[in-house]
A = this chain, B = another copy of it.
Amino acid sequence: MKEVKSLPPSGGLSRAAREALDGTLGDRVSYAEAIRSQHGSSETHFAPSLPDAVVFAESTEDVIFVVRLCAAHDIKLTAFGAGTSIEGQALPVAGGISLDMSRMNRVLAVNAEDFDVTVEAGVTRVALNNHLRDQGLFFPVDPGADATIGGMASTRASGTNAVRYGTMREAVLSLRVVTADGRDIRTARRARKSAAGYDLTRLFVGAEGTLGIITEVTLRLHPIPDIIASAVCGFETLDGAARTVIEAIQLGVPLARAELLDDAQMRAVNRWSTLDYPEKTTLFLEFHGSQAAVDEQVSMVGEIAAANGGGAFAWSSQAEERTRLWKARHEAYYATLGLRPGSVGWATDVCVPIGRLADCISQTKRDLDAASVPATICGHVGDGNFHVVFALDPDAPAEWEEVEAINTRLVARALSMDGTCTGEHGIGLGKQEALVDELGEAVDVMYQIKRALDPRGMFNPGKIFKSN
């Protein structure tokens, strides 16, 4: 497993701090090894790092109490949602308290006529959509994992629907945040747009919990479309698949999802989900709208695909089939690990201007074909964003070095195309040097903000910044 940072080990909590925690929180605080271990592990390739205690917040008041206590006792504080982040964002690498938000799981207000909802940070996206379904509304951002809304806001999550509906950057209308000095602020009102001062909402979205603790989130919702039609289409070439999506966008087709899976990913998916798709570069597409609109979109994309070496569309217009199709796509990560039992997953992502995507994926594919570690590619091709997942032998250091080198080349390739080192996974522990390569002195400006809002470095130490 990968040790990315070596921060000074925590000395544990003082007796006074423990007494204050216990006195106020009772059984909402735990020091049990099993609980600490669960909050000190991640889904990907980072080494575990245990907190000294785990607090299960049940209200914003609990969060304020913990923040003030941490400030008073110089304790580090790392928020924890569902633990599904990819770059180690929730690992308490300097010990201290892991603040588990999962009990703050109430939907506070659905404003159907305003197309918005306010939730506590621990509500998960699946729970939210179950809650909303009866009202004809849905929350589109879908990173695959059943993450919490607070975690998705903090990592600026994105996913398969972003090409049509945007990412958490567009979806969040307002946040309730507890700051380092224990203030309880709301970053905006519920209006869809505002020109009232600095955009604090967008500052906390994607800050990975390093600037404050998000306790409530107001989200923009969308009407459930009349018709949802999904299709799978195999291509002769990777370039043909990517070009199909770009041309569709150029023609103004409002694709709802456009996912590209390479041949290796399709092999993994077929095996993992017991499917029998052709094992070549494949697009998973989805169309939303009225019947007439969807019919027109499908017809246009069908023609474009055929002209780019695409095969026939395999359609899923029933909800059940669609669910099966997207479940297969969402389990791509586990499908890749399934290629090699006992392996550890290293998931990386980059995002480039869409005109460069086919080229970026092709070059990456050549790099992966030459590698000794099994690896798959899948991507949100309408955004220019794609992932590589490696299935690593945890006990083969040479493999880890090899993957590190491939990842470094991947980031350099994306940057050379004026892309970003991460489209949706974030910086966390894994992309700190890449961030500096990408944005140079702008990272110093970010750090000026970090120091201004969290001068003692209490929130999520060790993340985003090399010097943090």
Contacts and interface: CB of A to CB of B under 8 A. Distances in A.
A198 B442 CA distance: 10
B169 A199 contact: yes
Contact of A353 (B116, B205, B293, B427): B116
B445 A185 contact: yes
A373 interface: no
Interface in A210-260: 211, 222-223, 225-226, 246, 249-252, 254
Interface in A9-68: none
A418 interface: yes
B252 A449 contact: no
A197 B446 contact: yes
Contacts of A183: 441, 444-445
A451 interface: yes
A356 B419 contact: no
Contacts of A249: 115, 223
A426 interface: yes
A382 to B, nearest CB: 9
A252 B170 contact: no
Nearest to A465: B197
Task: Tell me the number of copies of this protein.
Answer: 2
Contacts of A205: 199
Given A202-B199, A203-B202, A383-B193, A452 B446 contact: no
Interface string A87-106: 00000000000000000000
A160 interface: no
A311 B452 CA distance: 56
B193 A158 contact: yes
B197 A424 contact: no
Interface in A351-369: 351-356
B169 A114 contact: no
Interface stretch (A336-344, A401-409, A431-439): A431-439
Task: Classify chain A's interface size.
Answer: 35 or more
Nearest to A252: B223
A225 B252 contact: yes
B384 A191 contact: yes
A191 to B, nearest CB: 4
Contact of A196 (B226, B293, B431, B448): B431
A76 interface: no
A444 to B, nearest CB: 7
Given A114-B354, A203-B202, A440-B185, A195 B422 contact: yes
A356 B113 CA distance: 9
Nearest to A174: B418
Contacts of A384: 114, 191-192
B442 A356 contact: no
A186 B448 contact: no
A318 interface: no
Given A191-B420, A292-B292, A418-B190, A453 B442 contact: no
14 contacts: A113-B355, A157-B195, A158-B193, A179-B445, A189-B439, A190-B418, A192-B353, A196-B421, A197-B427, A198-B211, A198-B449, A199-B202, A223-B252, A225-B252
Interface of A: 111, 113-116, 155-158, 162, 166-167, 169-170, 179, 183-200, 202-203, 205-207, 211, 222-223, 225-226, 246, 249-252, 254, 289-290, 292-293, 296, 351-356, 383-385, 414-415, 418-427, 431, 434-435, 438-446, 448-453, 464
The 8 closest A-B pairs by CB, nearest first: A113-B355, A452-B452, A202-B202, A114-B353, A194-B420, A191-B351, A185-B442, A195-B426
Given A185-B445, A191-B352, A293-B296, 13 more contacts: A115-B354, A170-B170, A188-B439, A195-B425, A195-B426, A196-B421, A197-B435, A199-B199, A200-B446, A202-B203, A222-B252, A226-B252, A451-B452
